């Protein structure tokens, strides 16, 4: 039965996406670019733009060749965007290269008002030429995922590396072991089309406890290794706790705190201890692992088996 369900899942993916040209449903495939592109309409700094593209499994786009340059320019025209960040950046002494390591001089775009490379370290693209800018300017940007014919499909969707489907809850989970603040953890999960896990039952708490146990403390690179960020915080209402979907913990179905918790007047976000019990944590001051949750690709149709089991 499990094999049949998995076959049906893969069939649905192939039927929906034809020749397999699928990365994410918020990206659009471009033949001329040889990959998928997405314009982020909410402006960001260069660092935030780079991170968002990375979290989405892509890179901050640069017009590395004529075809990619044309595809990027067409998106800019479609959304009436006159300047965007590129992945070209100076890490040292005015030497500008793309995230892929291509020197700026080898990219087929005219270099316009160069400015001072000692002051300006990020590159902008107007559709015709490059200029340099402070990296903290808020601008639109485009993320790019090259089509390398290595699409990974599992029960959680294409290219969802690290996510595993759990039959007891009907959700997919991923533990990020690199430490992040609670807010950065939320951004990471959102970029992967999920959210920091919301625990809805004792069963789900047990699933999270087992997931956490699979990662000993010496495998987690964070300020605190006994607690992971989850999708709840106080929303500015001190003394009450809500999930990121707007429910109280009680309405969500799980409000089991570790003994003596919450106990701080400065910790306004929520984590889960290795015991499966809740803990109040800092939102910005320290780093934690984060557990992301997302629905499987065809969750509206039927439960599906994981290819990772």
Total Cβ atoms within 10 A of residue 103: 11
Query: Where exactly does CATH 3.10.100.10 map onto the chain?
Result: 23-146, 153-294
Tokens of 31: 């033949």
301 Rama sector, left if φ>0, alpha if ψ -120 to 50, beta otherwise: alpha
Fold of 23-146: Mannose-Binding Protein A; Chain A (3.10.100)
pLDDT tens column, 63-86? 999 999 999 999 999 999 999 999
Cis peptide before 156 (omega within 30 of 0): no
pLDDT tens column, 250-287? 999 999 999 988 987 789 999 999 999 999 999 998 99
C-alpha to C-alpha distance for 150 and 20, rounded to whole angstroms = 10
pLDDT at 294 over 60: yes
Give residue 145's Cα distance to chain centre: 14
Give residue 262's Cα distance to chain centre: 29
| R_g of the chain, CA atoms, integer Å | 22
pLDDT tens column, 106-164? 898 887 765 555 567 888 999 888 888 889 999 999 999 998 766 666 788 766 678 99
**pTM (2 decimals)?**
0.76
Q: What single DSSP character describes residue 108?
A: S
Fold of 153-294: Mannose-Binding Protein A; Chain A (3.10.100)
C-alpha to C-alpha distance for 156 and 56, rounded to whole angstroms = 15
């Amino acid at each position: 039965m499990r094999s049949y369900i998995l076959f049906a899942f893969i069939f649905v993916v192939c039927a929906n996406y034809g020749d397999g040209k699928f990365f994410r449903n918020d990206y659009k495939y471009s033949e001329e670019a040889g990959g998928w592109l997405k314009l982020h309409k909410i402006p960001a700094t260069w660092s935030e733009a780079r991170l968002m593209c990375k979290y989405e499994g892509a890179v901050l786009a640069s017009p590395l060749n004529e075809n990619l340059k044309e595809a990027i320019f067409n998106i800019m025209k479609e959304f009436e965007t006159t300047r965007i960040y590129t992945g070209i950046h100076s890490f040292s002494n005015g030497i500008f290269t793309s995230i892929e390591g291509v020197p700026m001089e080898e990219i087929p775009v005219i270099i316009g008002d160069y400015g001072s490379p000692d002051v300006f370290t990020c590159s902008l693209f107007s559709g015709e030429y490059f200029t340099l800018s402070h990296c903290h300017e808020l601008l639109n940007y485009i993320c790019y995922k090259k089509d390398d014919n290595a699409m990974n499909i599992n029960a959680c969707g294409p290219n969802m590396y690290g996510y595993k489907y759990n039959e007891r809850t009907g959700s997919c989970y991923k533990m990020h072991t690199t430490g992040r603040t609670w807010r950065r953890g939320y951004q990471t999960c959102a970029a992967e089309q999920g959210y920091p896990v919301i625990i809805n039952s004792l069963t789900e708490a047990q699933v999270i406890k087992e997931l956490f146990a699979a990662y000993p403390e010496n495998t987690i690179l964070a300020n605190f290794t006994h607690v992971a960020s989850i999708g709840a915080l106080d929303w500015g209402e001190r003394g009450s706790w809500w999930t990121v979907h707007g429910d109280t913990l009680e309405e969500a179905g799980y409000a089991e705190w570790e003994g003596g918790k919450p106990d701080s007047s400065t910790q306004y976000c929520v984590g889960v201890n290795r015991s499966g019990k809740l803990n109040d944590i800092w939102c910005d001051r320290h780093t934690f692992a984060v557990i992301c949750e997302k629905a499987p690709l065809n969750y509206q149709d039927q439960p599906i088996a994981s290819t990772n089991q």
